[in-house]
Structure 1
Amino acid sequence: MKINRRSLALGAVALALPGLGRAQSGTIKFGFTAALTGPFNEFGEGINRGAQIAVEECNKGGGINGRMVELAEVLDDQLVPDRAVQNLRRILDNREIVGLMCPSGSGPTLAIADMIQADGRPIINPQAQTPAIVYPNGLDKPPRPNLFSISVGNLVESEKLAAALSQFSRIGVLHESTGYGVTGADLVRKAIIGRKPDARVTVESYNQRAQDMTAQLVRVQRANAEAMLVIGLGADFAVIRRNMSRLNMNLALFGAAGAVTVPYIEGAGDLVAGTRAVNHAAFGRRPMHGAAQKFADLYRAKFGTDRWYGPDAANPLISLAGTVGSGYDCINLLIDAIRRAGSTSAEDMVRALDQTTDYEGATVRRISFTPQNHVALKLEDLGTYEMLKRGDRVVLELRD
C-alpha cells in the first residue's frame, strides 16, 4: 500500500477531529418536534423556518469540516404535550441525531425535559418560558446539564413587565392555565408587589382556545383595574381583546411576548392599537445589530414579506425574533458547538456549549453559557413596545 503526504494529512485531520473524521460523506443531523400546524403554528412553523435558514447558510459555506448539516427529523405536535413526547421518542430512537431544539411552548417542553436530560444529547430552547424547564430543582440548584435556553424566560419578562405595570395601583392579570401562564402570572404579581407593596392585583385564568373570556373580564372590571396584562398566545389574546370591546373595557392593555404575535393582529384588527408589550429589543433598535440584520435579510430573501416577516421590507415585525429568529439562533449554536468541539459526541458538544462566550445571535446579541448558567437572555435584551396604527399597517414602536 502506497502512503503519500496527502494520505498522512487526511489521517492527521481525522485524528484531530475524531467525531468529524469518520463517515465524512454523512450529514450532521438535527431534529425537533414543534407546533407546525394548528392554531398556534406561528411558533412551531416559525422556528422551523429559522432552522431551515441556519442549515442552508451553513451548507452554502461548506458545512462543518466538509460535512453538510441536515434537519433529519422535524415532527408536528400541534403544541400538545403528549404528542411532543411521542415525537421525541421517535427522534431519540434515531442515534444519528446529534443535537435538538426544544418544542414551541412550555407545556410540550416540560413534558419532554426529563426524557432528553436522561438521553444526554444537547438541546436548546427557543421559546418556552417556564423556569423549571432549565432549573427543575430551583434557581439555586444546577441546571439540566444538556438543556440550554435563549428564550424570553418568565423571570426576566416579569421584571420588565412589572416595571411598566407598577405605575398603576389596580392591575388585572389574565393568564392561560398552562405552566407558562400560571408561572408567569405568579412571577409578575410578586414583581409588582415588590415594586409597589400597596398595589391591588386581580388574577384570572382561562383555558387555551376558549372562545369567551367574558366572566374573567367582568371580574377584572369589577375590581376597577386601571391596567390589564394578558399572559398567553396571540390567538387567545385576540379573543380577549374582542370580548373587552363588547364590554366597553377601556384600560391600559399589556401583553407578554407570546401574546403579541401575528394571530393577535390578524384576529383583533384595529383593536390592537394602544396595546403595550415586552419583546426582544434587537428587532426594535435602529440600526439592528449585525446578526439580526443578516437574519432578517436571509429570511426576506427566502420567504419574502409574509405573515411572519410583515409587509414592510425595511422593518420586520418585532415578533419575527421570537417566532422565527430563535430557531435560527438555536441551530447556529449547535453548529458553533460542533465546530469548536471538533466532535459530534454529546459530551463534547455539551462541554462546548458550556463554554459559549459572547456569541452574537440574531435575537440575543451576546449569548453566553456556563455550567451554572444555561439561560442566555438578560433584562437588557428586552424592550417595551406600543402597537400603533400607521395607515393600513400595525407597527410596534420601541418605548424603552
Structure 2
Amino acid sequence: MRIGLTTALTGAYSEFGEPMENSIRLAIDEFNESGACDQEVELIAYDDQLVAETAQANMRRLLGEDDVDFIMSPAGSGPTLAVLPLVNSENKIMMNTIAQTSTIVTPEGQDEPYNNVFSFSLGNVVEAEFMGQYLSENFDTVGLIAESTPYGETGLNEIEMVLEEAGVEVVARESYDQGATDVTAQLARIQQANPGAIAMVGLGADTATIRQGMARLNMLETPFVISNGAGTIPYQERAAELVDGTIVVQYEAFSGGEPETESARNFAQMYLEAYGNDRYYGEGEWPVPAFGGTPASSYDGAKVLLDAFERAGCSTETEAVIEQIESGDAFEAARGEYTFSDTEHTAVTTDFLVPMVYRVGADGAITYERAEG
C-alpha cells in the first residue's frame, strides 16, 4: 500500500514539511511493525517548497506513475487547494493535517463535505471561534493583521465575524505578503488606531518579522494574540526574547511539560527516540507546545488513516475505508480521540485548544503558561 505526500521539505517553510514527513513515517513504521496487515505500507514524498504549482506537478506524479492509494495533504492552504481537484478526480482519500482553509473540506457555498477529505488541522472557523472568544472576553477593541493568502484572509474574515457578534470593535485590518521583510507601514496604521490588542493569522517566520516591527514602534505593551500556525518554532528562533508575552493558540494535549495522556506521552517518546531533541521537539525531556501542531497533527492523520485501513480489512478501496472513518467509532491518537460522520469531516474542535503565553527568563530560556482570561 502506498501513501503519497507533497510538502515543503526544503526552503523557507520546511518548518512544516519536515516534521510532517517525520511524523507520518513514525505512524507508518509503527503500523508496519504491528503486523496488522500482510502488506507493507510505503510513503512516497516529494518536495514542493509550499509552491502551489510544484505541488500540482508532484500530485500528478503521485497519482500517475506512482499510483498511490491514499494522500496526505500538503502543508499550507494554497498548495492543498491547488491539488484538491486532482485528488478528487481520482476519488482518493486525502487526510488534511495542516491546511486550515474551510473550503478544503467543504466546497464553498455547500453544507456537505467532500466525501474523500478528512481534516485534522485546526480549521479557520474553529480557530476563529476560539481566538474571537478569547479576544472578546478580554478586550474592547482589536487590530487585525494576516498574510495575504487564503489561510490568512479567511482566518481574519472568520475572526472579524466572531468579534462583531460579540460587540468588539475591529479598529484596523492589515495584510502582508508571505515572506515580507518589512511590515512597518501596516503596523504603524494599526498603532494609530490604538487597539486594545493585536490579533494575527500567519506563519512563524513572518510572526517574528511582525514582532520585530512592533519592537521598533514601541508596541510591545500591546497584547499580541496569534494563531497556532504563527506560533511555530521559527517564531521563537527568530524573535528570541521578543516572544515574551505573546499569547498563542495551542493544543491542550501538548501544552508544555509532561503530557497528561498516555497517547500523547507515547507519541512524544517515539518522536524523541527517532529524531532526538530537534527544533520541533525542543531541548527538554518533553516537547514544546508547538509540537501539538504539525508533528502531532501529521501523526494523528496518518494513524487514523492506517487504523481505518486495517478496520476495512486492509482494503485500499476508497469507499471501504471511508465507511470505517465515517462510522462514528472513535480513533485514538496522540492529541485525543477523533470521530467522523458522513456530514462531519473536521475532527478538531475548540475543546482541543488552550491559550498559552510565552515567558522569557533572565537567562533567555522560554517557558510556557496558561494565559489568563
User: Which TM class, normalised by the smaller chain length?
Assistant: over 0.9
Residue 18 (structure 2) aligned to one of 36, 45, 48 = 45
Whether 1:221 and 2:191 are equivalent positions in the alignment is yes
Whether 1:245 and 2:210 are equivalent positions in the alignment is no
* C-alpha distance in structure 1 between counterparts of 2:119 and 2:366, whole Å: 30
Could you say which residue in structure 1 is the equivalent of 2:366? 394
CA contact (8 A) 1:189 1:201 kept: no
Whether 1:277 and 2:277 are equivalent positions in the alignment is no
* C-alpha distance in structure 2 between counterparts of 1:301 and 1:251, whole Å: 40
Aligned-residue offset at 1:259: 0.3
CA contact (8 A) 1:340 1:352 kept: yes
Aligned to 1:120, the other structure's residue is in SS state coil
Aligned-residue offset at 1:201: 3.4
- Please give the per-residue CA displacement for 1:111-139, whole angstroms capped at 9, x wherever unaligned: 1112211211111000000111101133x
Aligned to 1:355, the other structure's residue is in SS state coil
Could you say which residue in structure 1 is the equivalent of 2:200? 230
CA contact (8 A) 1:208 1:236 kept: yes
Please, what TM-score do these two structures have when normalized by structure 1? 0.89
Residue 329 (structure 2) aligned to one of 334, 350, 357 = 357
Partner amino acid for 2:309?
I
CA contact (8 A) 1:168 1:199 kept: no
Note closer, same or farther for the CA distance 1:94–1:289 as it changes in structure 2 (3 Å cut).
Answer: farther
* C-alpha distance in structure 1 between counterparts of 2:162 and 2:171, whole Å: 11
* C-alpha distance in structure 2 between counterparts of 1:233 and 1:347, whole Å: 35
Residue 156 (structure 1) aligned to one of 102, 106, 126 = 126
Could you say which residue in structure 2 is the equivalent of 1:379? 350
- Please give the per-residue CA displacement for 1:272-326, whole angstroms capped at 9, x wherever unaligned: 010001121111276421211110000000111110100111x311111212111
Aligned to 2:5, the other structure's residue is in SS state strand
Whether 1:310 and 2:282 are equivalent positions in the alignment is yes
* C-alpha distance in structure 2 between counterparts of 1:317 and 1:238, whole Å: 18
Q: After TM superposition, list the pairs within 5 Å mapping 1:1-400 onto structure 2.
A: 28-62=1-35, 64-71=36-43, 73-94=44-65, 96-138=67-109, 141-166=111-136, 167-195=138-166, 197-249=167-219, 250-284=221-255, 287-313=259-285, 315-342=286-313, 343-363=315-335, 365-390=336-361, 391-399=363-371
Note closer, same or farther for the CA distance 1:287–1:43 as it changes in structure 2 (3 Å cut).
Answer: closer
**Matched pairs, number:** 367
Aligned to 2:230, the other structure's residue is in SS state coil
* C-alpha distance in structure 2 between counterparts of 1:170 and 1:137, whole Å: 30
* C-alpha distance in structure 2 between counterparts of 1:59 and 1:263, whole Å: 33
Aligned-residue offset at 1:356: 4.8
CA contact (8 A) 1:50 1:324 kept: yes
Aligned to 2:289, the other structure's residue is in SS state coil
Partner amino acid for 1:223?
A
What RMSD over aligned residues (CA atoms) do the two structures have, in Å? 1.4
Aligned to 2:50, the other structure's residue is in SS state coil
Please, what TM-score do these two structures have when normalized by structure 2? 0.95
CA contact (8 A) 1:47 1:323 kept: yes
CA contact (8 A) 1:117 1:145 kept: no
- Please give the per-residue CA displacement for 1:180-209, whole angstroms capped at 9, x wherever unaligned: 0000001001101111x2523311000000
* C-alpha distance in structure 2 between counterparts of 1:153 and 1:348, whole Å: 26
Aligned-residue offset at 1:100: 1.1
* C-alpha distance in structure 2 between counterparts of 1:279 and 1:60, whole Å: 31
Aligned-residue offset at 1:388: 1.0
* C-alpha distance in structure 2 between counterparts of 1:65 and 1:274, whole Å: 48
Partner amino acid for 1:237?
T
Partner amino acid for 1:357?
D
Partner amino acid for 1:274?
G
Aligned to 1:184, the other structure's residue is in SS state helix
Aligned to 1:192, the other structure's residue is in SS state helix
* C-alpha distance in structure 1 between counterparts of 2:204 and 2:120, whole Å: 20
- Please give the per-residue CA displacement for 1:31-82, whole angstroms capped at 9, x wherever unaligned: 11001111111111111010111111112222x32222111x2011111111
* C-alpha distance in structure 1 between counterparts of 2:38 and 2:260, whole Å: 32
Note closer, same or farther for the CA distance 1:175–1:308 as it changes in structure 2 (3 Å cut).
Answer: same
Partner amino acid for 1:133?
I
Aligned to 1:259, the other structure's residue is in SS state helix
